[in-house]
Amino acid sequence: MNSTDIISLLPPLVLGVFTLVMLLALAVKRSPTLLSWLGIAGVVAAGASIVPAASVAPVQATMLALVNTYTLFFWGVLLASAGAALVFMRPYMRNHPRPEEGYLLVLLATVGGMTLVASTHFASLFLGLELLSIPVLALAGYSYRASGLEAALKYLVMSGVASAFVLFGMALFYADTGSMALSQLHGVLVGASLLHRPYPLIGIALLLAGLSFKISLVPFHFWTPDVYQGSPAPVTGFLATVSKVAVLAMTLRYLTDMGAASAPGYSVALALLAMSSMVVGNLLALSQRSVKRMLSYSSIAHMGYVFIPVVAGGSFALEAASYYLTAYAVMSLLAFGVVSYMSTLSEDADDMSAYTGLFWRRPWLAGTMTLALLSLAGMPFTMGFFGKFYLFTAGLDAGLNWPIATLVLGSVIGLFYYLGLIIEMGRGAHENIETSTVPAIQRSVSSTAVLAVLCAALVVLGLYPEALIHFIAGGG
């Protein structure tokens, strides 16, 4: 590695250094306040180091990592999401007997996600995937509640199965090609025949199946609602954003680069994955009384939405998918941020009854959740609306009638259960609310500030998306 390579990799390196500093600080003295602020400082410092990294990009930093505008953009998204999760964790972990390791695990997982986004080799892909997954596994059971331990166990089993699929796919691909470079995927997909060269094609299929587990595409989604519901509320927000955005950013780039849309078998398989995720996710969310389970099924549907431009192909497929993925991160952080704000270590504000009359008790908090839900539904003047319009245009240009029809149908279904929670928050003006179901809401200045920033981003980037689109287009 030369100096240019090191400068290009500064963001994950800086974040890695801060994890070591946090470990040393933890060995000297246990201080939740110190560790939480060190974690936030690490995220800010890593974000600032994107500027010098951008000055030397694009750079192929050894055979393992590519740092270009696309990589830098998603590094920024991951760091911003991790920073928000750390802020939401501070009041939530206030009464935890040993909260310090939680902040450390968030940084470790974020380093794994950043490694994954930049990966150009199977070695860095698997390293990033495991460095992302293992800390999230520990975070899922970090509340010590029985539901949290159950969530951690389920995530352990399903994550292990997904990793086995990924490793076996890599082995089959290497057995035929003798290469572990992800750049070889395009040549294999275009030139190989399932009859004469089955190993690499089956390997790619297994690799895609393993990654589909990580991002909860149907039929690999079964772990998602249980893990979302059982994990601590800030961890659920972290899992829904950093974990999924990292895996999706890497997957979308290589599906687009290797021409999945032009390979008939794979394009049909991707279309079926997308459509089934949209339908199943939205239908199962309809009957939920658990807010976290509802949002988990909603996230499954949104993963299906993101795959439409990948199936479509074309000049701005990656651009449309990247914008919607960014919008999804902002919307999910905002929704789970409200859940975290209303939750405590002993009990999350998960049941719908916890939100009854929230408009009359905490109007600004109810308004924040309403904005997040309306954006998830794709209502105008939000990032969700412009993101879905972008996806619709990409699919329409490619003649994907069935996926587009499924997108419209899924959006209509989604509106029902999003409105259900909004109506629940509006109840109580002329009704007696059972006080036992109303949680005590903790006050946190930092969490309030982050929620305000997310609200502003959701509206401003929905009304004026040009700057964000221009930046994404430059990295495609």
Q: From first to last of the 476 residues of the chain, give the pLDDT tens digit.
A: 788 889 999 999 999 999 999 999 988 888 888 999 999 999 999 999 999 999 998 889 888 898 988 899 999 999 999 999 999 998 888 878 788 888 999 999 999 999 999 998 889 999 999 999 999 989 988 877 778 888 888 889 888 889 999 999 999 888 888 888 887 776 666 655 555 777 878 888 888 889 889 888 988 888 889 999 988 889 999 999 999 999 999 888 887 777 666 666 777 888 899 999 999 999 999 988 899 999 999 999 999 999 888 888 766 778 888 899 999 999 999 999 999 998 888 788 888 888 988 898 889 999 999 999 999 998 988 899 988 988 888 888 878 889 899 999 999 999 999 999 999 998 875 555 544 444 556 667 888 999 999 999 999 988 888 888 888 876 44
Nearest-5° Cα angle at 327, 324 to 329: 115
Q: Taking a C-beta distance cutoff of 8 angstroms, is the pair 139, 102 a contact? A: yes
- Nearest by Cα to 190 from 180, 200, 203, 179: 200
291-306 vs 264-286: helix crossing angle, rounded to 10: 160
Alpha carbons 402 and 276: distance in angstroms, whole number: 11
Note the pLDDT of residue 438.
47
Q: Taking a C-beta distance cutoff of 8 angstroms, is the pair 307, 333 a contact? A: no
Which residue blocks in 93-144 are alpha helix, DSSP H? Answer: 100-118, 122-140
- Residue tagged 């240019």 (tokens): 4
Q: Token pair of 363, please? A: 């109007």
Note the pLDDT of residue 262.
64
- Give 298's Cβ-side CA count (13 Å radius): 31
Note the pLDDT of residue 192.
57
Note the pLDDT of residue 149.
86
Q: Token pair of 475, please? A: 């990295």
Q: Token pair of 15, please? A: 């974040």
Residue 60 forms beta bridges with which residues?
66
- Residue tagged 């079964």 (tokens): 222
**Residues near 259 by Cβ (< 8 Å), separated by ≥ 6?**
186, 189, 190, 313
- Residue tagged 């394009």 (tokens): 267
Note the pLDDT of residue 190.
62
Entry pTM: 0.92
In 32-160, beta strands by DSSP E: 59-61, 65-67
Nearest-5° Cα angle at 453, 235 to 243: 30
Q: How far is CA 291 from CA 247, 419, 431, 439, in A?
A: 24, 12, 22, 14
Nearest-5° Cα angle at 284, 278 to 285: 90
Alpha carbons 95 and 140: distance in angstroms, whole number: 17
Note the pLDDT of residue 435.
45
Note the pLDDT of residue 313.
76
Q: Is the dihedral of CA 391, 119, 337, 293 positive or negative?
A: positive
CB atoms inside a 10 Å sphere around CB 147: 17
- Residue tagged 């190993």 (tokens): 199
Nearest-5° Cα angle at 258, 298 to 271: 35
Dihedral of CA atoms 224, 321, 257, 277 in degrees, nearest 10, equals: 40
Scored b (16 or more CB within 10 A) or e, 206-220 reads: bbbbbbbbbbbbbeb
Q: Taking a C-beta distance cutoff of 8 angstroms, is the pair 151, 140 a contact? A: yes
